């Protein structure tokens, strides 16, 4: 593994993965392809370790000519595909961008990898790898008493976002089976940590609490998610890319099961502790219940025994420790937050989105 193409590397998980890789292997060159849509930002790539080994290319994974040129020019031997539209609410409002990026874009990457590695005979001396990042949402939803999802559970996506990711997963598997493309897939639970775009639950709660704004919680807040600190996720991906069995899928989870309301209250308690002079103490008083998301899945839970047993991975941080690290990062990320807001339509979208729910 010498030349890694990371797609979506200016986004939340992708940029954290690039930071991780640059600290792990001094021989690796990282080529970062990102379209810089609203959730991707060059702000996420400031102060990279050893930036000389990172090359940024502004472009679209749906552009096959560009992808093919990158593979050839940089002699890419590994692709890690983070590029995706990933917000469920946005997919409900408008599914087509999710189909375009998540389905067409992934297929374009697969097709260009097949051409370069297999059809043109440019397979490097060491084994090549196409690694695809997916989500637990492809499995649907669990009800009380259901066991955690294993890798063998059939897909049952419930949102346009989840359906688009399920389609991309199936295409990756199909290219492995049909053409012999060396693929692996990881399905992860909800990530959190530094550089997460502030539309997602944890950074949104932190941001709103710091500003004394309402903390919007869908429905009664009893939906259950599994939360994975992003650095733990990056380590898991690295292990799968290096040592995972070709053709296999690996679940990655955080090993916790709070309700959304419990999670928000935990964030509030940590903020109370870290900001004892805040005029918003107790921050729990800012919690506001809003109309539930259409088709909101009740519970997610990942069984990640496979990656533990085969690759020796397990999460290093419990939820409270990870939240403290995350909140501390956001408390010191004022400039990043300001610049992210200036680059995106986040504020207007969030205000419209939650205003509509509160008034309906």
Overall residue count recorded for the chain in this entry = 360
Closest CA to 38 of 12, 62, 18: 12
Closest CA to 167 of 101, 213, 89: 101
Candidate list 60, 77, 112, 136, residue with the active-site label: 136
Active site residue 34: no
Q: d(Cα 46, Cα 161) in Å, to the nearest integer?
A: 29
Candidate list 137, 151, 226, 301, residue with the active-site label: 137
Kindly list the distances between the CA atom of residue 204 and the CA atoms of 150, 198, 208, in Å, as whole numbers in the listed order.
30, 5, 6
187 bridge partner residues:
134, 251
Candidate list 116, 161, 175, 330, residue with the active-site label: 161
Q: What are phi and psi of 354, to 5 degrees?
A: -75, -30
Active site residue 85: no
Asked whether 14 and 8 are in contact (CB, 8 A), the reply is yes
* Strand residues in the chain grouped as ranges (E): 3-7, 29-34, 54-58, 78-81, 129-135, 183-188, 190-192, 215-218, 227-229, 249-252, 287-290
Q: Which residues lie closer than 8 Å to 58 by C-beta, 6 or more apart?
A: 34, 35, 36
Tracing tokens 């990279």 back to the chain, one arrives at: 48
Asked whether 23 and 231 are in contact (CB, 8 A), the reply is no
SS3 state at 188: strand
Active site residue 120: no
Catalytic residues: 136-137, 161
């Amino acid at each position: 593994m010498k030349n890694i193409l990371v797609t979506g590397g200016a986004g939340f998980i992708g940029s954290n993965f690039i930071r991780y890789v640059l600290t792990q292997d001094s021989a690796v060159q990282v080529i970062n392809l990102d379209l810089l849509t609203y959730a991707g930002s060059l702000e996420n790539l400031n102060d990279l370790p050893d930036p000389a080994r990172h090359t940024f290319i502004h472009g679209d994974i749906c552009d096959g000519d560009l992808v093919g040129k990158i593979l050839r020019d940089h002699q890419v031997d590994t692709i890690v595909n983070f590029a995706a539209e990933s917000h469920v609410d946005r997919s409900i409002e408008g599914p087509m961008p999710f189909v375009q990026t998540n389905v067409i874009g992934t297929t374009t990457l697969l097709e260009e990898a097949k051409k370069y590695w297999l059809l043109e005979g440019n397979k490097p001396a060491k084994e090549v790898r196409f690694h695809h990042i997916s989500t637990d949402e492809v499995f649907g939803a669990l009800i009380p008493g259901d066991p955690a999802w294993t890798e063998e559970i059939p897909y049952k996506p419930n949102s346009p976002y989840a359906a688009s990711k399920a389609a991309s997963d199936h295409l990756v598997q199909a290219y492995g089976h049909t053409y012999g493309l060396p693929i692996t897939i990881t399905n992860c639970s909800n990530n959190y940590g530094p550089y997460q775009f502030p539309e997602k639950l944890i950074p949104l709660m932190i941001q709103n609490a710091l500003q004394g704004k309402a903390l919007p919680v869908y429905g009664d807040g009893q939906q259950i998610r599994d939360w994975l600190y992003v650095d733990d996720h990056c380590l898991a991906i690295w292990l799968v890319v290096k040592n995972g069995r070709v053709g296999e899928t690996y679940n990655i989870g955080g090993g916790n099961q709070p309700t959304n309301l419990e999670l928000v209250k935990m964030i509030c308690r940590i903020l109370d502790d870290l900001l004892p002079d805040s005029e918003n103490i107790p921050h729990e008083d800012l919690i506001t219940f809003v109309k539930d998301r259409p088709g909101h899945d009740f519970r997610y839970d990942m069984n990640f025994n496979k990656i533990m047993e085969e690759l020796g991975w397990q999460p290093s941080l419990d939820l409270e420790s990870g939240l403290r690290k995350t909140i501390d990062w956001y408390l010191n990320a004022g400039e990043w937050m300001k610049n992210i807001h200036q680059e995106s339509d986040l504020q207007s979208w969030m205000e419209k989105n939650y205003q509509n729910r509160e008034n309906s």
